Amino acid sequence: MTPAMLDVRNLTTELVGPDNSIRLIDDVNLRLDAGEIMGLVGESGSGKSLTGLSIMGLLDPPVRVADSQILFKGEDLRRMDDERLRRIRGDRIAMIFQDPMSTLNPVLRIDTQMIETIKAHEKISTAAARVRARDALGKVGIPSPDERLKAYPHQFSGGMRQRVAIAIALLMSPDLIIADEPTTALDVTIQAQILSVVQKLARENGTALIWITHDLSVVAGLADRLSVMYAGRIVESGRTDDVLRQPMHPYTRGLIASLPSRNRRGMLLNQIPGTTPPIADLPAGCAFRPRCPSATGMCLAHPQLETVAGRDVRCFHPSLEGIGA
Amino acid sequence: MNARLDVDHVSKLFTRKPGMIERAAEAMHVKKPSPVVHALDDVSLSVPEGSVLGIVGESGCGKSTLGRVMAGLLDPSMGTVRLRGKPVDALSTAERARERLRVQMIFQDPSSSLNPRQRLADIIGAAPLHHGMTDRRHLADYVTEQMTRAGLDPAMRDRFPHQLSGGQRQRVGIARALAVQPEVLICDESVAALDVSIQAQIINLFLGLRESLDLTYVFISHDLSVVEHISDRVAVMYLGRVVEEASVEDLFANAAHPYTQALLAERPSIAPGRRSYHTIKGEIPSPVAPPPGCHFHPRCPVAFDRCQVERPVLRSIGASHTSACHLNG
């Protein structure tokens, strides 16, 4: 069996303080094969972005990965020396951020930045690198890429800038892309254009993709599998259609039920009571317990992620409604 | 039904203030005058008493400017804003101040619209005290009532905005608006910055307040699902113009304008199944130099010659359904 493109085992990330440390991500497991798209969904503070940064090894003290195996094609990224990790990042694994201006240097032309990236990873002539940069711009749907190569980041609109950031991520044809809310700041019509580019990419090049978002509806049509995070833990994980049709975890159920739907126009939405607890002060046992309609005394214990009918759920009372026995 | 608030052929132009050198250059006729942005271009809409008008559109479509003009925060460059049928311009200063108070606005980002150095009780209590809706002696009770109504624990009255969560801050914005006893609330992307589970709580609060206080709403959002959920009528805007307006049922079932159709087709949804994205091409043009004729024609899949030269007027294409497309009607 060939190893998975990415296999994250027991990822635990902590904020190390002088006296104690706070666990920000607790026991996250992710597995991704080539060409697969995984949606990593959660609300603010759920640890979804931090999971992406942990995988990339982009954390700075006092935040650190406490314990984990992060296997990329079977090789543990955390055991690699810095030089090799640097080569893999940007070459085999790329990341796209929400704000493209955090990727782009505002005082350099796009071509300078793109050619620089290619040359950092590969011995190649500038002319050949330029051709590849132009092709990458064309691939993400930037009109007249030859001219646009000479532009500065501020001369692009928000949607175009995000495309440039995606084009840079694509330059080395990475095997894995981690995209952190890349379309959140964009308009619907522009978001759809970018989703279509990304979807094509995964299908045609076999690129594996982790798409981090707070918006279920963005990944619903895009991802093969969904992992839902709450308070630093994955609470449910499974095939996208299964999770959306029959959510098992009360939090996932609550999230889906709270979305406005066409046939309940003007009626009160089903809301999840309360707010997300601060990560430094999680309730004992299941973190969702105080907001959960099905919580019992049992939930004072810490639930493990267990496989129920082909789905991973972290709950003592998963809903089996509509699940064939 | 009587219009609680209506805008009649309203336009809003913004010009960039030229610097000294530019002014000199203009005076010497060596430079063209600064570009003018038509943020609103001949917009007419009416909000009946007790109803919810949803306004949708993408960045730069003028929806926020329209909200500000309706709330009296901006004066229109052309056209008339009427409150209960009376043109705002025709009101006396005192009357205008009183009528304006009845229209309150709730913003997208609660943290930038709340003074970080004021306690909640001051944020919520200042305006009603100033306008004589309560006095110092009853202020504490008055603030308690406003906070309770917005779903805030009155025990938090001495806190500062940074001590609250995003959802709680938005509730403070709502409590502050309700404190001056408005009849119309203009919500500009008021749930856009909130997490899904909190968004549902705030939408429910709006729905509940509508019932209990007989409020009229203008609900501005880029999120079609939210607008569909809360609105009675919906107006779709593109680059400063209203391109389609209809009842919510009609608009979502029988969208006539190609832009509305495109927006609906690309609306994210949680319907299961892999989807393919039928994208409309191109970018939203800059409002400084919008395309001639129909603003949407460069992106429109069904555009023809006439669209490049002639501006389509908003005309009736069905029972209280208007659309601005040469192909409609």
Residues A262-272 have a mean pLDDT of 81
CATH number at residue B238: 3.40.50.300
Could you give the C-alpha distances from A122 to A90, A125, A196, B154, in angstroms and in order?
11, 9, 29, 62
* Co-location of B140 and B220 in the same domain: no
Contact criterion met (CB < 8 Å) for B277 and A187: no
Domain that holds residue B287: 3-102+182-268+277-323
Residue B297: C-alpha distances to residues B102, B240, B274, B302, B316 (Å): 39, 15, 30, 8, 20
Please give the DSSP secondary-structure letter assigned to residue B112.
T
**Mean predicted lDDT score pLDDT of chain A:** 88
What pLDDT is attached to residue B251?
Answer: 94
A159-174: average pLDDT: 88
Task: Examine residue A306 and state whether it is found in any structural domain, yes or no.
Answer: yes
Of B2, B50, B72, B46, the closest CA to residue B184 belongs to: B50
In a domain? residue A47 = yes
CB atoms within 10 A of CB B326: 18
Distance CA A66, CA A49 (A): 17
State pLDDT tens for residues A30-60.
999 999 999 999 988 888 999 999 999 888 8
The helix (run of H) or strand (run of E) holding residue B303 is: none
At B145, list the tokens.
């009532």
Q: Please list, in sequence order, all residues whose beta carbon lies within 8 angstroms of the beta carbon of residue B164, skipping any fewer than 6 positions away.
A: B156, B172
B225, B230, B274 ranked by CB distance to A221: nearest:
B274
Per-residue pLDDT at B1: 63
What mean pLDDT do residues B215-224 have?
92
**CATH of residue A25:** 3.40.50.300
Whether the per-residue pLDDT at A279 is higher than 90: the answer is no
pLDDT digits (tens, 9 = 90+) for B148-189: 988 888 999 999 998 888 888 888 999 999 999 999 999 998
pLDDT, tens digit (0-9, with 9 covering 90-100), for B139-150: 999 999 999 988
Structural domain includes residue B207: yes
Say if residue B76 is in the same domain as residue B121.
Answer: no
Q: SS3 of A15, please?
A: strand
Dihedral of the CA atoms B237, B241, B243, B246 (nearest 10)?
A: 70
Q: Which three-class secondary structure state does DSSP give residue B286?
A: coil
What is the Cα Rg of chain B in Å? 22
Residue A71 lies inside a defined structural domain of this protein: yes
pLDDT > 50? residue A166: yes
Does A317 map to a domain? yes
Whether B165 and B251 map to the same domain: the answer is no
**Range 291-320 of A in CB contact (< 8 A) with B:** none
Chain B interface includes A47 (CB < 8 A): no
- Is the Cβ–Cβ distance between B224 and B267 less than 8 Å? yes
Q: What is the pLDDT of residues A77-123, one digit of tens each?
A: 988 898 888 889 888 999 998 888 888 999 999 999 999 999 999 89
Number of domains in chain A: 1
Buried b (16+ CB within 10 A) or exposed e, A178-195: bbbbbbebbbbbbbbbbb
Instruction: Flag whether A204 is in a domain.
Output: no
Q: Which of A145-149, A195-199, B236-240, B281-285 has the highest mean pLDDT?
A: B236-240
Residues B212 and B304 placed together within one structural domain of the fold? yes
Q: Give a yes or no: residue A296 inside a domain.
A: yes
Q: For B19-35, how does the pLDDT look when each residue is reduced to its tens digit (9 = 90+)?
A: 777 778 777 777 666 67
Supply the pTM of this predicted model: 0.84
Tally of CB atoms within 10 A around A139: 18
Can you give the pLDDT at residue B6?
A: 92
Q: By CA distance, what is B286's nearest residue in A?
A: A157
The answer to whether residues B80 and B194 belong to one domain is yes
Place of tokens 């939405």: A269
Q: Does residue B152 sit in the same domain as residue B90? A: no
**Does the pLDDT value for residue B109 go beyond 80?**
no
Q: Is the ipTM here above 0.85?
A: no
pLDDT band at residue B103 under the 50/70/90 scheme = very high
Residues A58, A65: Cα–Cα separation, whole Å: 10
Are B294 and B308 members of one domain?
yes
Q: Is the peptide bond before A62 cis (omega within 30 degrees of 0)?
A: yes
Asked whether the predicted pLDDT for residue A67 surpasses 70, the reply is yes
Q: Residue B243: inside a domain, yes or no?
A: yes
Q: How far is B178 from chain A (nearest CA, A)?
A: 20
- Over residues A139-164, the mean pLDDT reads 86
Beta bridge partners of A72: A6, A75
- B194 and B300 both lie in a single domain: yes
Q: Would A141 be classed as within a structural domain?
A: no
C-alpha to C-alpha distances, B151 to A276, B194, B204, nearest whole angstrom:
17, 16, 11
* B189 and B154 within one domain: no
Mean pLDDT of chain B: 88
What is the domain count for chain B? 2
User: Model confidence at B195, in pLDDT bands (50, 70, 90)?
Assistant: confident
Shared domain check, B168 and B67: no
* Residue A254 domain-assigned (yes or no): yes
Chain B nearest C-alpha distance from A95 (Å): 23
Which of B131, B153, B181 terminates a domain? The answer is: B181
- In angstroms, the separation between the Cα of residue B152 and the nearest Cα of chain A is 12
- Enumerate residues 6+ apart whose C-beta is below 8 A from B231: B52, B53, B54, B219, B248
Mean pLDDT, range A153-181, rounded to an integer: 88
Within-domain flag for B128: yes
**Structural contact between residues A171 and A118, judged by C-beta atoms closer than 8 angstroms:** yes
Does residue B147 sit in the same domain as residue B206? no
A39 lies within 8 A of chain B by CB: no
What residue type is A262 in one-letter code?
R
Alpha helices for A171-209 (secondary structure H)? 188-205
Residues A187, B284: C-beta atoms closer than 8 Å: yes
Confidence label for B261 from pLDDT (cuts 50, 70 and 90): very high
A68: containing domain: 1-84+212-261+269-321
- Residue B16 resides in a domain: yes
Task: Average the pLDDT over A10-36 and give the result.
Answer: 90
pLDDT computed for residue A325 by the predictor: 43
- Choosing from B133, B165, B181, the residue where a domain stops is B181
> CB-based contact (8 Å) between A145 and chain B?
no
The whole-angstrom separation of Cα A165 and Cα A101 is: 9
pLDDT at site B278: 67
Which of B181, B199, B214 is the endpoint of a domain? B181
Residues B257 and B210 in one domain: yes
Measured at the CA of A12, the angle between CA A10 and CA A18, to 5 degrees, comes to 155
The reply to whether residue B197 touches residue A260, judged by beta carbons under 8 angstroms, is no
Cα(A139)–Cα(A130) distance, integer angstroms? 14
Given this model, what pLDDT does residue A200 score?
84
Taking 60 as the threshold, does the pLDDT of residue A324 lie above it? Answer: no
Instruction: Inform me whether the pLDDT recorded for A1 exceeds 70.
Output: no
